[in-house]
C-alpha cells in the first residue's frame, strides 16, 4: 500500500511509526504535504524512517503520488478539507480526532463518509485500542444495568502549559479544549453508556492567567515542543480555550455522568468510577490494575499489564488495529459515526458552558442519524 501524510506533525509521525512497525514492507510512505513539517520530519528521522517526497500543498501531493491511503494529522479546522480531497482522490482515510469542529462541518463530514462508505474512514480515537478500555468493555456486563459514572481528565502542568502555547489554544483551530482533547473520553463514555442527550457545563480560565505568572521559571511549562502557530506565552497567552471545565451529562439510556477536566493538576489522572445496579468498576488509565466489585462481594483486581506507556499502551495497539484493518479487512475499533457523535457531544458541552443552559444534544444526534443512519 502506498501511504501519504497530510499534516506531518508530532502525532502523525508517531501513528506512522506504529503502523509501520506492524505493516513492515507491506506499506510504504511515499510522501507528505505540509507547509512547515519541522516537528514531524525530525521525529521520522529519529525513528530512522524515510518521509518520501515532500509537498506544501495536499492537492498537488495527491495528484502527483496517487497514494492508496492517507494519514491526516493537520490541525482540526482543516481536517474536513483534507478528508474531502483525499476521498475524492480515491484514497482510504485515517484522520486524527476530532474529525471536525462544528455541527455544520459534522453534517458535511457525515455526507462524505456516507457516500464513500463508512469503512473507508478510520478515526484516531486511540483510547478505543487501549488495554484499559478493552478490559472495562470485557467486564462491564458483570455490574448490571449502568446507572451513573464519574470521570476526569487531569493534565500535569507541563501539558497544560503546552496547550496555552500550541495551536490548540485557539478555538478557531482546535474547536475547544473539551473537543480537542476530551473527545477521547466522551467517546468512550458514549460507547459504554449511550449517546449524550443532555449536557450542562461550567468552566473558565483561572490558572493560565497573568496573576499566576509567578509559577513560571526555569523552563517550566516549556518542556514540550512548539509547533505550528506556536507562541511562547503561557500565562498571558492569546488563546481562548478554557483551562478547567466540569460537565454533567445524561445519556439516551438514562445513565448520568459527571466529568471534570483540569489542565494544571499536580497529579495526572484519567480516572473512572462506573456504577451499575449489581456492582462497580473503578480504575485509572495510568494504573495497571482495574478494580471490579459486585455488590456484597470482595473486590477483584484485573491486571491490565500496561504500565505507564505513552497513551497507556494504546498507540502500539492502534498501529496494529489500523494495519489489520487496511491490509486484512478487520474492522477498526472506532466506527466513523461514533467519532462524529463524540464531537457533537463535546460541542453540546461547550454550548452549555457558553450559554449557561442545559443543551438538548439529541437534536444534533437525530440530525446526524438522518444523514448517516
Ligand X SMILES: NC(=O)c1ccc[n+]([C@@H]2O[C@H](COP(=O)([O-])OP(=O)(O)OC[C@H]3O[C@@H](n4cnc5c(N)ncnc54)[C@H](O)[C@@H]3O)[C@@H](O)[C@H]2O)c1
Q: Does 39 bind ligand X (CB under 6 A)?
A: yes
What is the distance between the alpha carbons of residues 201 and 354, in angstroms, rounded to a whole number? Answer: 8
Nearer to ligand X, 83 or 255 (CB): 83
Number of H helices, E strands in the chain: 13, 15
What is the pattern of x (binds ligand X, CB under 6 A) and - over residues 58-87? x--------------xxxx-x---------
**Cα angle 94, 8, 313; round to 5:** 60
Rounded to a whole number of angstroms, the minimum distance from the CB of residue 179 to ligand X is 9
Rounded to a whole number of angstroms, the minimum distance from the CB of residue 342 to ligand X is 12
Rounded to a whole number of angstroms, the minimum distance from the CB of residue 48 to ligand X is 20
By beta carbon distance, the residue nearest ligand X is: 9
With CB under 6 A as the contact rule, the residue among 4, 8, 274, 339 that binds ligand X is 8
Residue 369 has which C-alpha cell? 442519524
Three-state secondary structure call for residue 65: helix
What is the distance between the alpha carbons of residues 71 and 330, in angstroms, rounded to a whole number? Answer: 18
With CB under 6 A as the contact rule, the residue among 9, 276, 333, 335 that binds ligand X is 9
Neighbours of 2 (CB within 10 A): 16
DSSP annotation string for 75-91:
-GGGHHHHHHHHHHTT-
**Contact at 8 Å (CB) between 197 and 357?**
no
Nearer to ligand X, 16 or 292 (CB): 16
With CB under 6 A as the contact rule, the residue among 31, 40, 160, 279 that binds ligand X is 40
Nearer to ligand X, 35 or 118 (CB): 35
**Contact at 8 Å (CB) between 147 and 276?**
yes
Q: Does 319 bind ligand X (CB under 6 A)?
A: no
With CB under 6 A as the contact rule, the residue among 10, 147, 200, 327 that binds ligand X is 10
With CB under 6 A as the contact rule, the residue among 3, 6, 249, 274 that binds ligand X is 6
Parallel, antiparallel or unpaired: strands 146-154 and 271-276:
antiparallel
Rounded to a whole number of angstroms, the minimum distance from the CB of residue 253 to ligand X is 26
What is the distance between the alpha carbons of residues 198 and 202, in angstroms, rounded to a whole number? Answer: 14
Nearer to ligand X, 143 or 168 (CB): 168
Q: Sign of the CA dihedral 366, 333, 50, 306?
A: positive
Rounded to a whole number of angstroms, the minimum distance from the CB of residue 280 to ligand X is 27
Parallel, antiparallel or unpaired: strands 92-95 and 69-72:
parallel
Question: Among 6-14, 205-213, 265-273, 360-368, which window interacts with ligand X (CB under 6 A)?
Answer: 6-14
Q: Does 7 bind ligand X (CB under 6 A)?
A: yes
Q: Does 346 bind ligand X (CB under 6 A)?
A: no
With CB under 6 A as the contact rule, the residue among 180, 243, 250, 284 that binds ligand X is 180
Question: Among 1-9, 187-195, 250-258, 286-294, which window interacts with ligand X (CB under 6 A)?
Answer: 1-9
What is the distance between the alpha carbons of residues 222 and 158, in angstroms, rounded to a whole number? Answer: 7
What is the pattern of x (binds ligand X, CB under 6 A) and - over residues 269-308? ----------------------------------------
Sheet with strand 244-251: strands edge to edge: 300-303, 289-294, 279-284, 271-276, 146-154, 256-262, 244-251, 196-204, 359-360
Q: Does 51 bind ligand X (CB under 6 A)?
A: no
162's CB contacts (< 8 A; 6+ apart) are 221, 223, 224, 225
Q: Does 333 bind ligand X (CB under 6 A)?
A: no
**Contact at 8 Å (CB) between 75 and 335?**
no
Nearer to ligand X, 285 or 364 (CB): 285
Which ranges in 102-165 belong to alpha helices (H)?
103-116, 131-139, 157-165
Rounded to a whole number of angstroms, the minimum distance from the CB of residue 298 to ligand X is 36
Q: Does 35 bind ligand X (CB under 6 A)?
A: yes
- Where does this chain bind ligand X (CB under 6 A)? 6-12, 33-37, 39-40, 58, 73-76, 78, 96-97, 124, 126, 167, 180, 227-228, 311
Amino acid at each position: 500500500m502506498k501511504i501519504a501524510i497530510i499534516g506531518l506533525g508530532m502525532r502523525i509521525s508517531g501513528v506512522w511509526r506504529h503502523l509501520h512497525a506492524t505493516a513492515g514492507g507491506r506499506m510504504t510512505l511515499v510522501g507528505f504535504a505540509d507547509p512547515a513539517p519541522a516537528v514531524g520530519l525530525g521525529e521520522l528521522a529519529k525513528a530512522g524512517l524515510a518521509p518520501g517526497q515532500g509537498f506544501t500543498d495536499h492537492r498537488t501531493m495527491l495528484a502527483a503520488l496517487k497514494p492508496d491511503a492517507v494519514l491526516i494529522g493537520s490541525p482540526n479546522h482543516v481536517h474536513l478539507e483534507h478528508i474531502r480531497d483525499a476521498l475524492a482522490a480515491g484514497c482510504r482515510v485515517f484522520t486524527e480526532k476530532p474529525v471536525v469542529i462544528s455541527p455544520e462541518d459534522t453534517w458535511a463530514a457525515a455526507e462524505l463518509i456516507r457516500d464513500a462508505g463508512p469503512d473507508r474512514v478510520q478515526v484516531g480515537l486511540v483510547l478505543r485500542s487501549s488495554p484499559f478500555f478493552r478490559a472495562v468493555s470485557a467486564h462491564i456486563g458483570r455490574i448490571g444495568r449502568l446507572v451513573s459514572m464519574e470521570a476526569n481528565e487531569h493534565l500535569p502542568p507541563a501539558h497544560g502549559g503546552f496547550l496555552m502555547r500550541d495551536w490548540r489554544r485557539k478555538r478557531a483551530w482546535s474547536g475547544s479544549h473539551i473537543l480537542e482533547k476530551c473527545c477521547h473520553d466522551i467517546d468512550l463514555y458514549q460507547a459504554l453508556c449511550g449517546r449524550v442527550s443532555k449536557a450542562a457545563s461550567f468552566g473558565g480560565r483561572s490558572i493560565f492567567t497573568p496573576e499566576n505568572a509567578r509559577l513560571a521559571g526555569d523552563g517550566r511549562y516549556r518542556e514540550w515542543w512548539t509547533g505550528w502557530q506556536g507562541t511562547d506565552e503561557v500565562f498571558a497567552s492569546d488563546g481562548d480555550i478554557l483551562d478547567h471545565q466540569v460537565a454533567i451529562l445524561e445519556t439516551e439510556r438514562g445513565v448520568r455522568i459527571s466529568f471534570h477536566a483540569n489542565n494544571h493538576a499536580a497529579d495526572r489522572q484519567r480516572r473512572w468510577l462506573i456504577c451499575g445496579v449489581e456492582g462497580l468498576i473503578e480504575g485509572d488509565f495510568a494504573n495497571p490494575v482495574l478494580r471490579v466489585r459486585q455488590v456484597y462481594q470482595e473486590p477483584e483486581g484485573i491486571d491490565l499489564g500496561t504500565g505507564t506507556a505513552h497513551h497507556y499502551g494504546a498507540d502500539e495497539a492502534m498501529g496494529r488495529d489500523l494495519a489489520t484493518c487496511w491490509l486484512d479487512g478487520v474492522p477498526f475499533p472506532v466506527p466513523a459515526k461514533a467519532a462524529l457523535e463524540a464531537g457533537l457531544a463535546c460541542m453540546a458541552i461547550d454550548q452549555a458552558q457558553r450559554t449557561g443552559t442545559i443543551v438538548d444534544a439529541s437534536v444534533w444526534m437525530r440530525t446526524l442519524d438522518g444523514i448517516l443512519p
